[in-house]
Amino acid sequence: MYRMLVPVLLLLALVAASLLSDRPLPRADLVMLNASEVNTLDPQRMSWMHDLRTARLLYQGLVANDVLDDDFAIIPAVAESWTISPDAKTYTFHLRKDAKWSNAQPVTAHDFRYAWRRALLPDLVSDYVNMFLNIKGAQAFYDWRQQQLEDFPDRPFDSAADRQRAAYELWEQTKLKFDDLVALSAPDDHTLIVTLERPVPYFLELCAFAVFSPVYEPLVAPYERPDPTTARLLRKPGWTKPGVLISNGPFILTRWRIKRDMRFEKNQYFWDKDNIAIDSIHIPSITDPNAGVLAYQTGAIDWIADVTAPYRGDMVAQKQAFLDEHAEQVAQYRAQGLDQFTIDRLLPNDPRAHTHAVSSFGTYFYNFNCNPTLPDGQKNPFADPRVRRAFALCVDKRSVADEIRRLGEPTASTLIPPHSIAGYTSPAGLPNIGDAKDQAERNAIIAQAQQLLKDANFPDDFIVEMAFNKDSGHDLIAQAIAKSWQKHLGVKTKLQQNELKIFREDLKTKQYMTARAGWFGDYGDPTTFLNINQSSNGNNDRAYNNPIYDQLLEQASTELDPAKRMAILSEAERIIVEEDLPLIPIFHYATIYMFDAHKVTGLSTHPRTKQNAYLIDILTDNKGPNQPKPMRHNAPAEAPSP
């Protein structure tokens, strides 16, 4: 009888344990939607914006961006100070002694060195490995490791045991090679010295990027072992689980139920915990955008980080109607220099005002294939910059932004969103028919475009093919652009819609004529946009090649005077958007948030849209605005040299 009861009792115990583990927790101080399910919590393997947003909760790098500052300035984080050598190549970071991991162990320079070595391994296939290749010797190390891995399968071994032993020996060699080649050293626990191949004026911006975060070697290393067949490091993600993950950021991970939710609690060992206003964050997994908006409207959500509901254009229109009703007050507040969220907080609380369209660090554009011949072998008219310029002039960007997107997004005459990078002055760019002041100006633009096509001997019977992927309204945008080209240039067009995977492959292999595209900057420097048009860059989907443009980027890479460097880069962008037009900027993206500005503070209106959820405070009826202060503790002992 007892033996029969054992399985029943065991089953009951399992059911009870399941019920207890699923017991609802108290509502978190902040409940937010993060746009999509997190892919990874390994910072060196991150790429997507929602992953990076989560990383900034769990990890902290050497420095950070002051997201609540107009200039998005670099401020101390784990490094309390730093110095830069006169040749602008060597950075010496001094780590604060009170920085700790969530297990109370100190964060050391060795932790950063270990994490950056992981990012440099070709085994990891990091999307941002190029950022680390700025370090002296990093490219040589990467190439050496890659060659060793390519050669390993062909090496003869007497047995599987010998092959496995050789894989481990190669890993030990790799670590020694890193020490020998890469100019990244930790002379003591609180000093990290980095020497670059050449000056990189935005290197501190890179250090503020989440992929440069440290990871805790005693935790991570046991989950990484050489594959006995290929010698590549096999990485298991078990160290990123709740209750296992050790992190050094403002919060720790306490729950992660795939496709259900994530929960974070304040890290009691975080050095700046007293400046964190909230104690807990809950991120439910709501993948349906309509359900997300409904959850917000019922009070279950405090902040939606990216509203993608198909009717969001109507939401933005309702917000604008609300602002129009209070136009006089809005004008007064704007004249005082107040930002959008502060103005919303000063106006009456209205549900329509909970939608916020914020300029983003990204641009939607159309590519031209600049190769001399097209995929079918015929001569490519778009190899001539006069043709590209003519087509660029005759895009009605205003109708795309106002009638199709309807998100308050500004039309774009430049690739880099204006005012998004401190110290950078944007070129004027080309005019376009949609932004013409009157019909006379519009007619003049059209006449100019038609003359350019005539000068370039554009063939009368040529059919312009326009490639785009399904969803997200790309078809409507393509139809509007095609209509403009047909009407004003008299050309025939053909729309080509493909699945996203096929579309992306066609872009990379240049199997297209014209195609929709977009780009978001990764760091606060013009090169994050301009480099994609460099002739040798892997993201140059246009096959654009201008030695003068390449030379300007090369010249900027060695210019130590910040103002002169920015002027060089502005000239490079001018060539792109006024002369050569390998792409047509259409509009600068907006990100749509939902939150009640009378309740939620600490979010930034800066176009870099790098929101840090740990800076949020939730206001109550008896609590005045208590916006958390950005971390400005201990300015660098020696100001960074140019």
* 411-467 pLDDT, tens digit each: 999 999 998 898 999 999 999 899 999 999 999 999 999 999 999 999 999 999 999
Query: What DSSP string runs through 136-188?
Result: TTHHHHHHHHHHHHHHGGGS--SSHHHHHHHHHHHHHHHHHHHHHH--EEEEE
- Domain locations along the chain: 40-239, 261-355+592-618, 359-590
Mean pLDDT for the stretch of residues 28-55: 91
Structural tokens at position 384 = 């001539």
pLDDT tens, position by position, 162-219: 999 999 999 999 999 999 999 999 999 999 999 999 999 999 999 999 999 999 999 9
For the chain, helix (H) and strand (E) counts, in that order, are 20, 20
Amino acid sitting at position 620: T
Q: What is the pLDDT of residue 69?
A: 86
Q: Which residues pair with 496 in a beta bridge?
A: 467
DSSP codes joined into one string, 370-415: -SSB-TTSSB-GGGSHHHHHHHHHT--HHHIIIIII-S-PPB-SSS
Alpha helices of 192-311 — where are they, by DSSP H? 203-207, 217-220, 289-297
Q: What's the pLDDT tens digit per position in 605-628?
A: 988 888 999 999 998 753 444 444
Taking residues 518-545, what's their average pLDDT?
93
Q: Is the pLDDT of residue 4 over 60?
A: no
On whether the CB atoms of residues 365 and 416 are closer than 8 A, the answer is: no
Question: Residue 133, CB half-sphere, CA atoms under 13 Å: how many?
Answer: 11
Q: Which two tokens stand for residue 16?
A: 């009870």
pLDDT of residue 330: 97
pLDDT digits (tens, 9 = 90+) for 303-351: 999 999 999 999 999 999 999 999 999 999 999 999 999 999 999 999 9
In DSSP terms, 618 is beta-bridged to 600
pLDDT tens digits, one per residue of 100-134: 999 999 999 999 999 999 999 999 888 889 899 99
Q: Give the pLDDT of residue 125.
A: 81
* For residue 241, pLDDT beyond 90: yes
How many other CB atoms sit within 10 Å of the CB of residue 162?
Answer: 13
Nearest-angstrom CA–CA distance, 357 and 359 = 7
CATH class of 40-239: alpha beta
Q: What is the dihedral of CA 405, 406, 410, 413, to 10 degrees?
A: 40
Residue type, 125: V
Distance CA 418, CA 422 (A): 10
Is the CA virtual torsion 356, 357, 359, 364 positive or negative?
Answer: positive
Dihedral of the CA atoms 95, 100, 101, 106 (nearest 10)? 70
* Pair 390, 449: CB distance under 8 Å: yes
pLDDT for residue 628: 40
Give the residue-averaged pLDDT of 396-415: 95
| CA distance linking residue 385 with residue 370, whole number of Å | 9
pLDDT greater at residue 1 or residue 530: 530
Q: State phi, psi for 290 to the nearest 5 degrees.
A: -70, -40
The enclosing H or E element of 262 equals strand 261-266
Give the pLDDT mean for 381-406: 96
Instruction: Name the band, by pLDDT with cuts 50, 70 and 90, for residue 22.
Output: low
- Check residue 558 and give its pLDDT: 87
Are 40-239 and 359-590 the same fold in CATH?
Answer: no
The whole-chain average pLDDT of the chain stands at 91
Specify the 3-state DSSP secondary structure of 565: helix
For the entire predicted model, the pTM comes to 0.85
pLDDT band at 36 (very low <50, low <70, confident <90, very high): confident
**Rounded Cα gap, residues 27 and 531, in angstroms:** 45
Tell me the average pLDDT across 243-261. Answer: 96
First to last CA, the chain: 82
* List of long-range contacts for 476-483, beta carbons under 8 Å, 24+ apart: 476/404, 477/364, 477/400, 477/404, 477/405, 477/516, 477/586, 478/516, 480/396, 480/399, 480/400, 480/403, 480/404, 481/366, 481/395, 481/396, 481/400, 481/586
Across the range 35-39, mean pLDDT stands at 85
Determine the topology of domain 359-590 in CATH: Dipeptide-binding Protein; domain 3 (3.10.105)
Confidence of residue 13 (pLDDT cuts 50, 70, 90): very low
Q: What is the pLDDT of residue 623?
A: 42
User: Is the pLDDT score of 7 beyond 60?
Assistant: no
How many residues make up the chain in this entry?
A: 642
